[in-house]
Amino acid sequence: MKKTLIASLFALGATTMLTAPAYAQDVYFPIIAKGFSHQFWQAVKAGAESAAERNGVKITFEGPNTEAEIDKQTDILNAAIAKKPQGLGFAALDSQAQVPALKKAADAGIPIVAFDSGVESDLPLTTCTTDNLAAAAAAADGLAKAIGEAGEVAAIIHDQTSATGIGRRDGFLNQLQAAYPNVTVVDVQYANDALKAAETAKAMLQAHPNLKGIFASNEGSAIGLAVAMKETGTQIVGVGFDSGKSQKDAIMDGTLLGSITQNPVGIGECVVDSLAKALKGETLPTVIDTGFYWYDKSNMDDPKVAAVLYD
């Protein structure tokens, strides 16, 4: 009810802005991502910019330098709200801590569309996201089958505060528990950037000499896992998440088995398209699933998969 009311009230004041040249001048959406350090976010930005041009609106694409800077992202969010935009796209680094700032936006009548990572609130009109539970379950399937559905495995998760981190961790662990009783998870650690993930992976390999596989839940952690495997010469099964040149190269040279790719360009398009629809008073679904694929050497050239891989 609250979502519909916010969208409807704002639509009453926005109707005239939706007519031709004035719309391009007057409508502005800040799109706030979780960071810039991964190619994933550059692909999201490209999608958002494409949709902005198609809808005749202006956007900015902002975010902290790394996905560890929750306070910095909150500062960016508050600054964006203070500019009184006609809509706001937001990917939360913390599903709870940034709700008060988003409430300021909602109270000011600013439509909010969450993307990638949602928040524990009904303030966003919709969330454009991958089904992270299902995607991580597919990663668990790929890893488990590659090790003969038995043995010790571990996971490197990019954070424990965002919806994506929690969802991918739980999706991976739950699927192993439900479907592979002979696979044992011996360690779960948290590391977002490649350097920390490489150190974490090396420590895991040393602490668990019988380890058969490791799952890394985002671009940075997957790159770090690949680096650790190459530097130690360890022959285990590595499974990642996201895409980017480094991760694709690691799959092609056999360091990593495979990965899950999201649809980052589609996520960016979804955010801007959804905000434009909100201004027109259109009702949005609670969640918009932007899809995912498992990819490895065997299907990277499949047109459906290749279309959502990025460098």
pLDDT > 70 fraction of the chain, expressed in percent and rounded? 92
pLDDT band for 88, please (50, 70, 90 cuts): very high
Q: Which residues pair with residue 113 across a beta bridge?
A: 89, 126
CATH architecture of the domain covering 132-261? 3-Layer(aba) Sandwich (3.40)
Question: What's the CATH class of domain 2-130+263-291?
Answer: alpha beta
Q: Where are the domains of the chain?
A: 2-130+263-291, 132-261
Long-range contact set of residues 95-99: C-beta below 8 Å, sequence gap at least 24? 95/119, 95/120, 95/161, 95/162, 95/163, 95/166, 96/120, 96/161, 97/70, 97/161, 98/70, 98/73, 98/74, 99/123
Q: How far apart are CA 273 and CA 92, in angstroms?
A: 19
Q: Give the global pTM.
A: 0.86
Q: What is the pLDDT of residues 238-297, one digit of tens each?
A: 999 999 999 999 999 999 999 999 999 999 999 999 999 999 999 999 999 999 999 999
Dihedrals phi, psi of 153, to nearest 5 degrees: -135, 170
Buried b (16+ CB within 10 A) or exposed e, 31-61: bbbbbbbbbbbbbbbbbbbebbeebbbbbeb
User: What tokens appear for 306 in the block?
Assistant: 């290749």
In this chain, the answer to whether the domains covering 2-130+263-291 and 132-261 adopt an identical fold is yes
